[in-house]
Amino acid sequence: MDPTLEVVVPVFNEALVLDPAVRRLHAYLSDRFPFSWRIAIVDNASTDRTLALADRLAEQLPGIRVLHLDQRGRGLALRTAWLSSDALVVAYTDVDLSTGLDALLPMVASLVSGHSDVAIGSRLLSSANVARGPKREVISRAYNLILRVAFSTRVHDAQCGFKAVRADIARQLIPEVEDDGWFFDTELLLLAEHNGLRIHELPVDWVDDPDSRVDVRRTALEDLRGLLRVARRFAAGGGRLHLGEERRHPFDDDMGRRLITFATVGAVSTLVSLVLFLWLRAPLGPVPAVVVALGATAAGNSWAHRRWTLGRRGRAGLARHAVLSGGIALVGIAMSALALAAVGAAGGTLVAELVVLAVVWSATTALRLVLLARQHRRHGSPDDG
């Protein structure tokens, strides 16, 4: 009978910790896990006694299989084990078991129930219980902030070594993942979100392994290169999967949830434009200053509304949105320039200039909201292309 869950443990030269870690995992699954399971130890070209110890564990304990690879790479280990698995759900944990195993059951349950497609542990949710040094904390938060800004991802912690995927979903996602190293996790999650799959993120207990041999700096640079590669791929319209019945289509809405995002983007854009206007007003004059200030924020405003307010990625509808946003920006610039010219002709003060700009920018914002809402209703959800 095929197991419900297969937990993959990728290892490279882990002879010192492999035996106690696998025995601990095995005991937890045997005593406290209600679904059928299997453990897969994947040896990534170890040069110590790791493979021999893994084979011995498989002989001594039921429910363990061992795979040996001649090449290194955590992503390669997960790719190989997950694609060869006959389990309903495939998961993995780092061999140091830094993540508390009590999170495994709720993570797997969300997949077995059909509620979610991918489930991940998170060290960055407020209710997570984490102990680690400041250097790794800062790097992790900075990396995940880049993800949230650049990809508008809702995932808080893409790098936690504790994840699970429905096997049928994994078989569709993994062939599209290009990385075989540490970036494998992030690329898998970005592809999942890009295709509208539901990711369940739950807080974990996590204690940093002081003996970790991960080269944080090199890994971070490789991850950044991976992010650029994926961003270019998505921008070119790539990364779309034909998921059939597995694809989730968002409900139609009236942009109720998007109004907060719209207001936030508008407030930030207005503040930047105002600061630029005040800074440039004296050397350039009011009219040139407002033209430069609004022109400087137009592209960023358009990008932010498309990515965050409308939730759209890729090239589908990009030209239409660019034309719409460009038109609104030109109207706003023209109206602002004419209003300031009129104030100047009447001998108005800075206060008068700010008042008319407030009126004009409010009108432009209202126009933008109406047109974005119409665009959202007319062209459907992001997943409809």
Is the alpha carbon torsion for 100, 120, 159, 29 positive or negative?
positive
Q: Give me the numbers of helices (H) and strands (E) for the chain, helices first please.
A: 12, 9
The single-letter code of the amino acid at 126 is S
Neighbours of 62 (CB within 10 A): 9
**In this structure, what DSSP letter does residue 62 have?**
S
- CA nearest neighbour of 90 among 29, 38, 126: 38
Q: Distance (Å, rounded) from C-alpha 182 to C-alpha 12?
A: 13
Q: Distance (Å, rounded) from C-alpha 11 to C-alpha 75?
A: 12
The set of catalytic residues is 185
> Which tokens is 146 given?
């880049």
| Contacts of residue 249, Cβ cutoff 8 Å, sequence gap at least 6 | 196, 381, 383, 384
The single residue listed with the structure tokens 């239409």 is 320
Write the burial class of residue 282 (CB in 10 Å: 0-12 exposed, 13-18 middle, 19+ buried): exposed
Q: Distance (Å, rounded) from C-alpha 278 to C-alpha 142?
A: 32
Q: Distance (Å, rounded) from C-alpha 170 to C-alpha 202?
A: 19
